[in-house]
Structure 1
Amino acid sequence: MRKVYYGCTVVQLITVLVLFYLVTFGAFERPAPLPGSAGALIDYHIIVGELVIPLLSLLTTIVAAIARAGARLVTLSITPFALVAIQLFVVFSLAEMAGHTDERSTTGGLIVLGFHSLVGVAVLGVTAVLLHRARALAKGAVAATPAAARA
């Protein structure tokens, strides 16, 4: 089961890298349509970020628990889900409160939205750490629980 967990972390990291790639579709598309508009290429980034990453995070967390990967890895496995929730419910909400809309941007809104990329980098970092630790766990290089380490 630990190899399945490792496989889930590989898929998760690849998906996060795809997410970063897909953001360029929206950033460089001209004329720039609003998200949700017919044919808006940024929608691919939105779908992966709001749907695929959280679902993979939940799946990886469940597999980590089944594989008895330890509380730290289980907690780390759900972190991308939590970071996406922060994106959706904190960063974007604060940007709206600062006056940012789909039709108009404000300096305050843009400053807050700058954290969107930083949280995205945090998701990338967490998934990279997960991959590294899951690989070590699958190879048996680390003990699954602190109690096993003391024995």
Structure 2
Amino acid sequence: MRKVLLALAAIILLSSLAQLYFAGYFHFQNSIEEQRDAGVYHIVNGQYVLRYAALLAAIVAAIARAGSRTIWLAAGIFLLTWVQLFIFIIGGMLTGSSEEFVTPAGSWVVSIHPLTGALMIFMSYWLFRRARAAALNPQPLPPRADTSDAPSSQATA
């Protein structure tokens, strides 16, 4: 299970780095129509690949007994994907911004999005490091219990 966790952590790290690339690809398009088409990569990767890989990693980390910090790192990445979405929803509701018209206050609120994205990249890096350490260091075996029903063979003198 720890190797599965390592594979999921690698997917999460690569997906979070791809988010940065997709954001740049989205912003450097020539027209609004091209931007909308290019933004699909960023949205799908963040809302589906990254989110559900992090959820699965939290579950696998718990099953693999990788430690509470590793579980919380994966769960934190999962929760931050929701925060990323709610930044736009709540920011638009509070500031009166929309996709067509962004108010100055809306720009300030939505500017939190890249900061939390950078936090996710940092967290995914640490999740990968912890998963790699867990995969390279096997779990110690539990102590063996003596289950024999035979009486003790010690001789009394």
* TM-score between the two structures when normalised by the length of structure 2: 0.81
Q: Distance in 1 between matches of 2:70 and 2:102?
A: 39
- Pairing of 1:1-151 with structure 2 (within 5 A): 1-33=1-33, 40-89=37-86, 91-96=87-92, 97-140=94-137
- Provide the alpha-carbon RMSD of the alignment: 1.9
Q: Distance in 2 between matches of 1:33 and 1:46?
A: 16
Q: Which amino acid aligns with 1:42?
A: G
Greater Rg, structure 1 or structure 2?
Answer: 2
* Structure 1 residue runs without a partner (length 5+): 145-151
Q: Number of residues paired by the alignment?
A: 139
* TM-score between the two structures when normalised by the length of structure 1: 0.84
Q: Does the 8 Å CA contact 1:12/1:53 hold for their aligned counterparts?
A: yes
Q: Distance in 2 between matches of 1:131 and 1:107?
A: 38
Q: Distance in 1 between matches of 2:85 and 2:58?
A: 20
Q: Which amino acid aligns with 1:94?
A: I
After TM superposition, give the deviation of residue 6 of structure 1 in Å.
Answer: 1.1
* Structure 2 residue runs without a partner (length 5+): 141-157
